[in-house]
Structure 1
Amino acid sequence: MPMLFLDPLRQINQRRRPFPALRPTTYYVPVVSAAKLCPECAGPLSRASGCVTCVYCGWGKCG
C-alpha cells in the first residue's frame, strides 16, 4: 500500500485505547432468613406469650 494510506491508519491505531476493565453488572446478595432458627436443631421457632419455642425439638426461652 502506498504510504499515503498507511500513515493515517498508523495514527488511528496509536490513538486507540484498550477497553477499560469491565465491572460486574450483577451483584449477588446472600439470602438471609428473617425467621429465627433453633440453636439446638436449626428448626423453626414459634413465639407465644413472650416465649420462643422450637417446633421440632421443644427448646425454649422466655424473656
Structure 2
Amino acid sequence: VKDVLTLESNEKLQVEVFTILGEKIMELHLENLVTIDFSKNTPGVYFIKAFSTSGSKTFKIVKN
C-alpha cells in the first residue's frame, strides 16, 4: 500500500486497523466499497481485521 487501500464487500463490514504493536488506529463500518487513507501513516506493517456476519479475517499489509 502506498497511500490508499480499497476494500470491496457484498456484506456490511466492521474494519479495524492495527499497528505492528497492536495499537488500534482506525475503526470503520462500511458497505460495498470503501477506501482507507494511509497517506498520513508512517511506513511499516499494519494489520486489518474485517468482521462480517459470516466471520472475520485478518490481513497483513505493508505501507511503503
| TM-score, normalisation: structure 1 | 0.25
More helix by share: 1
More strand by share: 2
Relative contact order: is structure 1 or structure 2 higher (C-alpha 8 Å, sep ≥ 6)?
2
| TM-score, normalisation: structure 2 | 0.25
